[in-house]
């Protein structure tokens, strides 16, 4: 009997020690997959977004795991399949997901100037003779993913307003990542390309010249399924809304984050993206099979 009591005492002491080292909630954390549209190649995606995920894991009672997709359509479908509950995606992928599934935006990223908007940029090489959109006729153009807002929908709308159709281009291709579009133009494989502003500014010194900047549009939303646990949603909102980019401690923490997330967040609603809906109604229907993205 004494041996048994001693064994029980040892077990109690051991478990107590374990709880001091690993808090109880560590063992009980509910896991959620956090999806991301593939704006960059996987290595860069993990480099820029894993620190963001680490922050959520440290500042909420939940465990989030990055889930990348091969293309925007796959990420949209993952919502419907229940493989992801929460995601960061562009305005157009969000609207496409909402057309099929019960999803809603909860937050929008803020830009460097504190605004909740960003722009698309059409660019060429610094040494290119192309000066404006009209000069793109007969040229080779690199778009991003078919459902990329700044990589395809906005430049397509800009070309349409300039009375340039896809038939007026010599060739055009859809590339899988923003950095693929950048380097496709830099290497001379394409005469011009389109990406979102933060990507264009990042690579501008590598020999880019901007020939068109679109009107501002709503920033990238963080989106959740309708059946996402309310406690999880509120926890994520609280953790991200409390970030103050002017706080030195927050600046240090967010230094490794993607430029898109470095400047804090604001609340979002579906109506914020009505301007994108209006643009989508004005451009030709995109054929998904034709727009299958290349590496």
Residue pLDDT, tens place only, 237-266: 999 999 998 899 998 999 889 988 999 999
Residue 198 has pLDDT above 70, yes or no: yes
pTM of the entire predicted model: 0.81
| In the predicted structure, residue 295 carries a pLDDT above the cut 50 | no
What separation, in Å, do the N-terminal and C-terminal C-alpha atoms of the chain show? 69
Does 120-215 carry CATH code 3.40.50.11930? Answer: no
> pLDDT value at position 9?
54
Question: Which residue from 172, 181, 160 is spatially nearest to 285, judged by alpha carbons?
Answer: 160
Residue 106 tokens read as: 């909860």
CB within 8 Å of 7: residues ≥ 6 apart: none
Query: What is the fold of 25-115+218-277?
Result: D-Maltodextrin-Binding Protein; domain 2 (3.40.190)
CA distance 75 to 85: 11
With a pLDDT cut of 90, the percent of the chain lying above it is 69
The pLDDT of residue 23: 52
Q: What pLDDT score does 26 carry?
A: 47
Distance CA 137, CA 59 (A): 51
**204: DSSP letter:** G
pLDDT tens track for 45-84: 999 999 999 999 999 999 999 999 888 889 889 988 999 9
Instruction: Reply yes or no on whether the pLDDT at 290 is more than 80.
Output: no
Nearest to 211 by CA among 118, 117, 125, 111: 125
CA distances from 49 to 35, 139, 257 (A): 11, 35, 6
Q: Where in the chain is the domain with CATH 3.40.190.10?
A: 25-115+218-277, 120-215
pLDDT digits 0-9 by tens, 138-160: 999 999 988 899 999 999 999 99
Q: What is the strand order of the sheet 86-88 is part of?
A: 62-68, 30-36, 86-88, 221-225, 103-109, 265-267
């Amino acid at each position: 009997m004494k041996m048994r009591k001693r064994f029980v005492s040892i077990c109690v002491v051991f478990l107590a020690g374990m709880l001091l080292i690993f808090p109880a909630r560590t063992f009980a954390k509910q896991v959620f997959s956090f999806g991301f549209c593939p704006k960059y190649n996987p290595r860069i995606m993990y480099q820029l977004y894993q620190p963001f995920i680490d922050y959520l894991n440290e500042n909420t009672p939940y465990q989030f795991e990055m889930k990348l997709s091969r293309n925007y359509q796959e990420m949209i479908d993952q919502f419907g399949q229940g493989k992801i509950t929460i995601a960061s995606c562009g305005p157009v992928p969000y609207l496409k997901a909402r057309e099929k599934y019960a999803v809603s935006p909860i937050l929008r990223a803020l830009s460097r100037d504190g605004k909740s908007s960003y722009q698309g940029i059409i660019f060429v090489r610094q040494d290119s003779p192309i000066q404006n959109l009209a000069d793109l006729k007969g040229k080779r153009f690199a778009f991003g993913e078919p459902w990329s807002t700044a990589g395809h929908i906005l430049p397509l709308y800009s070309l349409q307003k300039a009375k340039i159709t896809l038939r007026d281009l010599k060739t055009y291709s859809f590339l899988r990542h923003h950095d693929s579009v950048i380097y496709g133009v830099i290497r001379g494989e394409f005469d011009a390309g389109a990406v979102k502003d933060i990507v264009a500014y990042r690579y501008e010194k590598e020999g880019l010249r901007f020939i068109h900047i679109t009107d501002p549009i709503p920033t990238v939303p963080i989106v959740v399924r309708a059946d996402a646990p309310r406690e999880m949603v509120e926890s994520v909102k609280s953790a991200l809304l409390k970030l103050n980019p002017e706080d030195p401690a927050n600046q240090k923490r967010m230094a490794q984050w993607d430029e898109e997330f470095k400047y804090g967040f604001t609340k979002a609603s579906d109506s914020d993206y009505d301007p994108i809906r209006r643009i989508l109604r004005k451009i030709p229907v995109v054929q998904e099979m034709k727009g299958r993205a290349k590496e």
